[in-house]
Amino acid sequence: MSTQIENTQVNNRTASDLQSAEFSRILLIKPSALGDVVHTIPVLVKLRARYPRARIDWLITPENAEVVRHHPALSNVVLFARRDFLKPGQRWHATLGFLDLLKQIRRAKYDLVVDMHGQVRSALFALISGARVRIGFDRPIEFSRTISAEHNLKNVPSHGWRGAREGSWIAYTHRIPITTLDVHAIDRYLWVGSLLGFDDEPPDLAIHLSPETIDNVERLLETHGVPAGKPLVVLVPGTIWETKHWTIEGFAGVAREYLREGVAVALAGTKRDAVRCEQIAAAAPGTVNLCGKTTPADLAGLIERAEVAVTNDSGSMHVAASLGKPMVSVFGPTNPVHIGPYQRPESVVRVDLPCSPCNYRRLSQCPFNHACMKQVTSEMVLERARKILGAAKL
């Protein structure tokens, strides 16, 4: 009876009441993708500062787990093997694993769930937990015209995040109000602090990698002829949107210049990026092609090892920003104010075109022959990289 009364009291709490409430078993939900996982790390750090003695678990996919597993603010990872459903002949096994996951979440008896994912599956996890406080974003709001102090971007986007999706907001006992879409994803995630009473310290984005990951990266590089201590530049040319791809010749031009200077150049990416990486490697002989040979944690270790990273708008860009590494990212169809490298506007290279950003995902949608990317040259990227590296040495 006392437990039922307690649950009723917590469910009836207002947002201001939550700021003084204490929780001992917390589940943070953000399974993927890599960039989104990195954006959620500051929430983890704030949760630990707010609840120093709590058990704080993170529900995450196995492929991203090693990026956060060794973070000192985290108690445990709870693995959601989503990709098992895509493996031939594994659907029954995946279903059994999913049911076991639901039982594991239920048994943990979480009293607070923070769902930063905001889809029907993550909402299901929140509900199954039985937690008496379940927090997530409110329902989607309408897109509005974007005017930023950093960039004069005045388009009305047709894609992108605008709130919890698929009715997931129904599962939450408390919803994070969405006051604007003209904000970086990290700052948006930290809005949950207005409910829970987070401190005012600057966001901590740091990724903590295991010694094993660092050793794996060194062995991988040495296997491909890059000895320990040799200066390294990492190029990550892949991303899901076709329109986010900088040109093959652009990446190859950067690679050739660094190779000419005696710097090792490595390409990284997933199997999905294999063709692009092969084309760049062919156009810049001597480039080490590690595409498909690294996990997300290995990618972070590779970027940590590098002098500078060059990317599109992608998860690797956010990894570099979290590691505090010098990096340059080429932007075209997307808005760097919302999803660029956090508080690193100097790392963004883009051309000022009236059509950009457009938020078109496919090249077939672009009426301007991908001008926003084609007009960015390797010389522009190299100049920016050298300027950033020079400033880092001061």
Mean pLDDT of 346-351: 96
Confidence of residue 151 (pLDDT cuts 50, 70, 90): very low
Percent of the chain with pLDDT over 90: 78
Q: Is 337 inside any structural domain?
A: yes
What pLDDT sits at residue 222? 97
175/261 same-domain check: no
Q: Is 203 inside any structural domain?
A: no
Residue linked to tokens 């997300």: 296
Please say if the pLDDT value at position 70 is more than 70: yes
314/248 same-domain check: yes
Q: Is 383 inside any structural domain?
A: yes
169/217 same-domain check: no
273/233 same-domain check: yes
For residue 311, the domain's CATH number is 3.40.50.2000
Mean pLDDT of 73-84: 90
Between 144 and 215, the higher pLDDT residue? 215
Tell me whether strands 112-115 and 25-29 are parallel, antiparallel or unpaired: parallel
348/238 same-domain check: yes
What pLDDT sits at residue 180? 86
Q: Is 201 inside any structural domain?
A: no
Q: Are 318 and 38 in contact (CB under 8 A)?
A: yes
Q: Is 294 inside any structural domain?
A: yes
SS3 content of the chain, % helix, strand, coil (to 5): 45, 10, 45
What pLDDT sits at residue 267? 98
Q: Looking at the 3D structure of the chain, how many domains does it have?
A: 2
Q: What is the pLDDT of residues 298-333, one digit of tens each?
A: 999 999 999 999 999 999 999 999 999 999 999 999
Q: Is 166 inside any structural domain?
A: yes
248/104 same-domain check: no
> What is the rounded end-to-end Cα distance, in angstroms, of the chain?
64
138/114 same-domain check: yes
341/272 same-domain check: yes
Between 4 and 172, the higher pLDDT residue? 172
Confidence of residue 114 (pLDDT cuts 50, 70, 90): very high
Please say if the pLDDT value at position 148 is more than 60: no
Whole-Å CA distances, 315 to 105, 303, 321, 322, 363: 28, 12, 10, 11, 20
Q: Are 350 and 366 in contact (CB under 8 A)?
A: no
189/240 same-domain check: no
3-state secondary structure of 136: strand
Whole-Å CA distances, 82 to 66, 91, 116, 299: 16, 11, 17, 21
Mean pLDDT of 88-116: 91
Entry pTM: 0.90
Of 167, 196, 225, which residue constitutes the final position of a domain? 196
Q: Is 112 inside any structural domain?
A: yes
- Give the angle subtended at the CA of 210 by the CAs of 209 and 216, to the nearest 5°: 100
Of 139, 171, 196, which residue constitutes the final position of a domain? 196
317/369 same-domain check: yes
What pLDDT sits at residue 13? 52
262/372 same-domain check: yes
Of 139, 164, 196, which residue constitutes the final position of a domain? 196
Q: What is the pLDDT of residues 226-235, one digit of tens each?
A: 999 999 999 9
Q: Is 320 inside any structural domain?
A: yes
Q: Which domain holds residue 249?
A: 211-393
221/364 same-domain check: yes
Residue 311 CB burial class (10 angstroms; 0-12, 13-18, ≥19) = buried
